[in-house]
Amino acid sequence: MPESVLLHELISTAAQRAPEAVALSWQQSSATYAELADAVQRCAHGLVDCGLERTERVGIYLEKRWETVVTSFGAPAAGGVFVPLNPLLKAEQVVFILRDCDVRVLVTSPERLALLAPVLGDCPSLRHVVLTQASATPVVLPAGVALSTWAELLDAPMRAGHRVIDTDVVSILYTSGTTGKPKGVVLSHRNMVAGAKSVASYLDNRPTDTLLAALPLSFDAGFSQLTTAFHSGARVVLLNYLMPRDVLKAMEREKVTGLTAVPPLYIQLSALEWPAAINENLRY
């Protein structure tokens, strides 16, 4: 079995090993590694069909959901660079990042686009917006910006992605900007794949694991839940929680074996009574 070298190969390699294994769960849905790998390739074809050139940026302004994960790996498969945006950011903060790194394609929802539309004119590099579904209200975009839906993106004709090597840029993750303007941290395919292999090694991740993605995917430790799981052939559960108790409920319901969080969340979780069933599965 070949080793993963590029980011999107974490999924395709796992799909070769165990195509029917569940890779991703969100809300009431799940997808196998074969289904995820197919969606990533179709997303890549669609982005190239949109005119995405090698190393051009694809912004993702969504909560944790199917389209977020597929685009995060589909953009690199097309030869582009994915830029995940924290879904809690305000319109002005989002536009700052889109402009700062010259995002060409933006993937978002109709609801989020409604918040961004009045200020998207400040993003001169933007050429295409992809919506998770058709908007119920008319969408007015700046001149020269095309609009399509997720279904149309995935139905685009097959087009080969641009050539990529492991030292090419794969993502730009932005800092929170709490002490100034957000800064873009540039990561290569080698950075992210080596990180996934390292973390999976010391946590002893395995195909039987279920990891809970509770942290934002725009945060390195949050996105690492995807890369670590996919390298190991494990399952990831996407969680958009409102209260800390929602995390415990998800851990019990999904039989989570691995939880990664930050100190503020752990402080909140430690103050709650944990369901006894969590201990039947949780390894770390």
Beta strands in the chain (DSSP E): 22-26, 29-32, 57-61, 81-84, 103-108, 128-131, 146-149, 169-174, 184-188, 210-213, 235-238, 258-259
Count the Cβ atoms, other than its own, within 10 Å of residue 71.
29
Q: What is the pLDDT of residue 176?
A: 83
Chunked into runs of 10 residues, the chain (284 residues) has average pLDDT values of: 90 98 97 98 97 97 98 98 96 96 98 94 96 92 96 94 96 88 95 97 97 96 97 98 95 98 96 96 97
Are the C-beta atoms of 217 and 59 separated by less than 8 Å? Answer: no
Give the SS3 label for residue 26.
Answer: strand
- Cβ-in-10-Å burial (0-12, 13-18, 19+) of 133 comes to exposed
Q: What is the pLDDT of residue 67?
A: 98
Count the Cβ atoms, other than its own, within 10 Å of residue 264.
9
Q: What is the pLDDT of residue 1?
A: 60
Q: What is the pLDDT of residue 111?
A: 96
Give the SS3 label for residue 220.
Answer: helix
| Whole-number Å distance between alpha carbons of 167 and 190 | 6
Q: What is the pLDDT of residue 33?
A: 98
* The model's pTM: 0.96
| Whole-number Å distance between alpha carbons of 124 and 265 | 38
Are the C-beta atoms of 195 and 224 separated by less than 8 Å? Answer: yes
